[in-house]
Structure 1
Amino acid sequence: MQKSAELLSALGAVIDETKAHIHRMDDLTLQALAANLPPKAPAGTAEMLMLLLVLREAESRERKHQGAKVLIFPSA
């Protein structure tokens, strides 16, 4: 049980680092990454997670450029 908790904690840290890295990407790099990810990655795979993170970041940037007043709730 403790090993599982350690692994989940490490996974969470890697996901947070990946989010931060994606956030620092310029728009062209983000678009290129989105275009090269498989659009129908199997659920639970690293590809699916990466696709979700990239699409969320792209959507967030699009909202900023449009000046939309949308409440964004933090993910769990």
Structure 2
Amino acid sequence: MIYKFEVGQSVVPACPLRPSRNTYVVLKQLPLTSYEPQYWVQGVRSGVDCIVCESQIEAADDHRPSVSFAAMGTLETGIQSAKRS
């Protein structure tokens, strides 16, 4: 068996329970003991870690953010300029 995800790679749940998709980072590829590879992952925002099967996650690179980074920069700039006023 070959691992699909590398240590340090960002992943998201394949079937999220909530509309906002939390991002996780692969901390470790676990030894092959079941019918599919398993990973130890940790939430980027929450810090919560768990073990997941390969079928439960997808590469985060395959998904576009809901808000573009350009828009985020505009929002931050607007907030900073409002604080200066």
Q: TM-score, normalised by structure 2?
A: 0.25
Structure with bigger strand share is 2
Structure with bigger helix share is 1
Larger CA Rg, structure 1 vs 2 = 2
Q: TM-score, normalised by structure 1?
A: 0.27
